[in-house]
Amino acid sequence: MVPYRFAAVLRYREQLLEQVQREFAALQGKLMFEMSRLTMLEQTKREQSEEVARLQQGGAAIREIGLYHLVLDRLYVAIVQQRKRLQRLNGELGAKREDLVLAMQKKKILEKIKERDAEAQWEAEQRRERLLADEMVVNKTARAMSLSRQRDGEEESAGPLKEGR
């Protein structure tokens, strides 16, 4: 069988697809990590807010409550930054998903071309076999006719000689 003409390209597409899949999986993992980090920051902010409310009810010093507010402000900034980071990662993940789909489509196209080439090769081989079989039948028939003519010719040439004796 003749080797597939785009085998090198198909191998390259498969490697590219595997690389994009790894990158996609890494981005998904990073996104999950960043989401858990956001959840942790929000949980910490809730706990700190509850602590401030408890301190205010308990009559704690203004200075102590002010420190908690500074912590809450920093947590708020961290949460905003984390949400922006998640938005950016979601955008990157969407772009990588498109890359993944495109890589899969390109690989699938080459696989279909490979299938069609294999089918065309098989059909060409079948045609060659039919032509060879036809040629063998023609040759056999021609040989049989030639032998038949030779025998007829020998009988004709031998026939008058036998009669004359």
For the purposes of burial, counting CB atoms within 10 Å of the CB of 71, is it exposed (0-12), middle (13-18) or buried (19 or more)? middle
Tokens of 51: 């602590």
Please write the tens of the pLDDT for every residue from 32-58: 999 999 999 999 999 999 999 988 888
For residue 55, the model assigns a pLDDT of 87
Q: Does domain 7-164 have CATH number 1.10.287?
A: yes
pLDDT in tens, 54-93: 888 888 888 888 898 999 999 999 999 999 999 999 999 9
pLDDT band at 152 (very low <50, low <70, confident <90, very high): confident
Quick check: 93 and 24 in contact, CB under 8 A?
A: yes
Q: Quote the tokens at residue 82.
A: 């984390």
**pLDDT band for position 7 (cuts 50, 70, 90):** confident
Kindly give, in sequence order, each residue whose CB lies less than 8 Å from that of residue 89, ignoring residues fewer than 6 positions away.
27, 30, 31, 34
What rounded mean pLDDT belongs to the chain?
89
SS3 5: coil
With tokens 């040989």, the residue in question is: 143
CA distance 39 to 93: 20
